[in-house]
Chains A and B, each alone.
Chain A
């Protein structure tokens, strides 16, 4: 048996009510109005950092050394050339002897990578593969995409043991459909007329893939517990389900109103929310959308009961949110308006890439050391034990801090140091189990900070050096989300 072994979702903390966006730019195209809210990646998040967050949720309780491969899907890679799967793998402290690939170029990349991962496992070339799909989608100010696009990530661990949803098959349709695209130099999507994308694409490809799947595997609509696909056009979503012959109870909530269109992650995020409520025996159809459609069939197993309520999936993240009430701040976070950071903001020292390579496990993987003599965990990596009562030399073993929780030892909110989102909050953090280091604190309001506050560690963009095209990734502390 092969299929989904574990899942992890991630929605950024910030949500913006679409009314706020519409109030800002709705004068331009009044027909773009859409209700509800969408997720907004914080200024220090991108598709890579959110992928790491969802993957950490997915891998909780699993031995990371057993992961044989990592596939990353996105349409919003921070790099044109540099394999992001490898940044994610290093951050997760996976072994280096694994297969990796980035899947990109279409919002179907999430489902495409899933099929590829299942094929690898089926072929026996891997026992399991971690799939991370993540997007920070950017719509031009005033566009309908700006209102519908959202940010989020989903990770699935696919494997051949302890499968919670077994893989039953797939049906793909692939078209060079020009509803939207981005050239090498475009920051935001370009799109053909919305009606065209909706009527000639969305309304046609998804039914074609789903009905193709049903007939390929001789299934009736009534055999399916949930049909799951993005609600990019909510009214048409309902129409498609009706036309395909599914009852409303068989249709998985598409979350468009409360979450938005998270691109490659979208079908996988709603699949996760379906798995969170599924029962053994359920058959699930999940379909993506983007230059065609991939429809996938899963059969939920008894194993699902073991993980129920244990995972950070999607549903609890929907409730864990902070209102972003400033449209201007949203634009600044996405670099649509250039802000005055002061001369201090320009004083970015160079990054020694030979150093960040040499110490990648320490920096990207947040692995410090633990003294084998006295057991003291320490960060950064030390050769001489920091414990004043020990001081052993070269008695260290690697020790991963990224999956440890901690408590705020002390903190401040800094108005002098540069940050794109002042005040800069940082805290000396004492880890449960030992070890102390200082971290920037993000996804947090200064008013809520206090000594002793529990925190966890989150992979973030620490700085961006525009001159060198360098994104400095590191870890920050965040209040425990869920």
Chain B
């Protein structure tokens, strides 16, 4: 294996808008807000940036195609800017572009920024899904929504591990309750309400067995990171955050086309985790990782991800959930900022939003949500469906 990205690049500044239904703000407002916070945090000026990577998922409901949206909005001075789209991993992909750019020596300081404006569609949930897999897919794709695709995974999981639906839903409810507890303490989160298991169980069904509170918020927002060469990071701040691993893994299609995959895990997450841990030099993730921001688009996604990332044994995530292992005071606090569930999910901003929380936690600046002395943070995105997806994993530390 190649030597990897570990400790070659560091994050020296980050910014993140409040996520939510920004009826009074467009993508441009969100971009400027996240960017301004990031360069102020890094103590640099716009002219110091050599290159930029811009993540946005939707064209038609967001800012259109190309990197022009970022360049024009920020008046970047004719530098290389690349637009990246890789579904819900778009934000982490933008970070990967910037990190790889710096690591290659092509530039010293780079910007990664993700922004999404979802609330201009006129309806709840994400925009129509069928076209996201191409023109042909549109005519052969069933009427699948995001919650429905993951609901099918929940039904498989319950079936495999012999959980009656009501019992399974109660396990999932605990996941959402945890996120709401954390989100309530986060001024930038979209949803800031403490909920109970009964609230989750009694909410309307969106796609059986998933109810409203099993689903994350659909939000507008933007987040940004400034990265530079690790050896110059301390020139900007005393507490830069170092990239330990940065991996992407994409489905081959065999999950949906071949009959081996059993629908209770995410194949690409399993494989990407192995690569990421190797890159970061992590041997025992359950012991070495201090905290995580997982892609909890739906409660079931968070549950299987605990297992896919080797934190919980296969089929046993339930025990850890019930033991409070992932609570803010637990062994590996998960979703300390509220997760997608409560912080919200503007697609291409989410990966960088997760990193924002890891960055602040590592620096001891997470306020009420501060985790005690974290060493290693992990972020995870899952773009697409359990059957067809893009996974990103980023591991960071001081």
Give A contacts to B, CB under 8 Å. Answer: 342-344, 347, 349, 351-352, 355-356, 359, 362-363, 376, 378-380, 382, 386-388, 409-419, 423-424, 426-428, 430, 434-440, 446, 451, 462, 472, 474, 476
Question: Size class of B's contact patch?
Answer: 35 or more
Chain A residues whose C-beta falls within 8 Å of the C-beta of B121 in the assembled complex: 343, 347
A438 to chain B minimum Cβ distance, whole angstroms, is 5
Interchain CB contact (< 8 A) of A411 among B123, B140, B152, B252: B152
A456 to chain B minimum Cβ distance, whole angstroms, is 16
Chain B residues whose C-beta falls within 8 Å of the C-beta of A428 in the assembled complex: 152, 256, 263, 387
B259 to chain A minimum Cβ distance, whole angstroms, is 5
Which of B178-186, B200-208, B231-239, B303-311 lies on the face that meets chain A? B200-208
A414 to chain B minimum Cβ distance, whole angstroms, is 4
A457 to chain B minimum Cβ distance, whole angstroms, is 12
Q: Residue B164 at the A interface, CB < 8 A? A: no
Chain B residues whose C-beta falls within 8 Å of the C-beta of A362 in the assembled complex: 140
Is the Cβ of B258 less than 8 Å from the Cβ of A409?
Answer: no
Which of B26-34, B130-138, B326-334 lies on the face that meets chain A? B130-138
Chain B residues whose C-beta falls within 8 Å of the C-beta of A411 in the assembled complex: 152, 155
Task: State the majority secondary structure of interface residues on A.
Answer: mixed
Is the Cβ of A414 less than 8 Å from the Cβ of B254?
Answer: no
The answer to whether A343 and B123 touch (CB under 8 A), given A410-B152, A428-B256, A451-B156, is: yes
Q: Residue on A with the closest CB to B154? A: A412
With A and B bound together, what is the CA distance between A363 and B140 in angstroms?
Answer: 7
Chain A residues whose C-beta falls within 8 Å of the C-beta of B128 in the assembled complex: 344, 347, 349
Is the Cβ of B206 less than 8 Å from the Cβ of A386?
Answer: no
Chain B residues whose C-beta falls within 8 Å of the C-beta of A376 in the assembled complex: 258
Q: Residue on B with the closest CB to A364? A: B139
Give B contacts to A, CB under 8 Å. Answer: 121-125, 127-131, 135-136, 138-145, 147-148, 151-153, 155-156, 159, 204-210, 252-254, 256-260, 263, 387
A315 to chain B minimum Cβ distance, whole angstroms, is 32
Q: Residue on A with the closest CB to B136? A: A355
A388 to chain B minimum Cβ distance, whole angstroms, is 5
The answer to whether A424 and B143 touch (CB under 8 A), given A410-B152, A410-B155, A412-B148, is: yes
A471 to chain B minimum Cβ distance, whole angstroms, is 11
Chain A residues whose C-beta falls within 8 Å of the C-beta of B387 in the assembled complex: 428, 438
Q: Which 6 A/B pairs are nearest by Cβ-Cβ distance?
A: A386-B257, A412-B151, A343-B122, A414-B148, A410-B152, A417-B145
Chain B residues whose C-beta falls within 8 Å of the C-beta of A426 in the assembled complex: 142-144, 148
Is the Cβ of B143 less than 8 Å from the Cβ of A437?
Answer: no
With A and B bound together, what is the CA distance between A436 and B148 in angstroms?
Answer: 18
Is the Cβ of A414 less than 8 Å from the Cβ of B151?
Answer: yes
Is the Cβ of A418 less than 8 Å from the Cβ of B143?
Answer: yes
Interchain CB contact (< 8 A) of B155 among A349, A355, A356, A412: A412
Is the Cβ of B155 less than 8 Å from the Cβ of A446?
Answer: no
The answer to whether A440 and B142 touch (CB under 8 A), given A386-B258, A415-B204, A428-B387, is: yes
Q: Residue on A with the closest CB to B215? A: A416
Chain B residues whose C-beta falls within 8 Å of the C-beta of A363 in the assembled complex: 139-140
Starting from the known contacts A414-B144, A446-B208, A474-B139, 5 additional A-B residue pairs (CB-CB under 8 Å) come to A380-B140, A414-B207, A417-B148, A423-B207, A438-B142
Chain A residues whose C-beta falls within 8 Å of the C-beta of B131 in the assembled complex: 349
Is the Cβ of B135 less than 8 Å from the Cβ of A355?
Answer: yes
Chain B residues whose C-beta falls within 8 Å of the C-beta of A430 in the assembled complex: 259
Q: Residue on B with the closest CB to A476? A: B142
Is the Cβ of A356 less than 8 Å from the Cβ of B148?
Answer: no
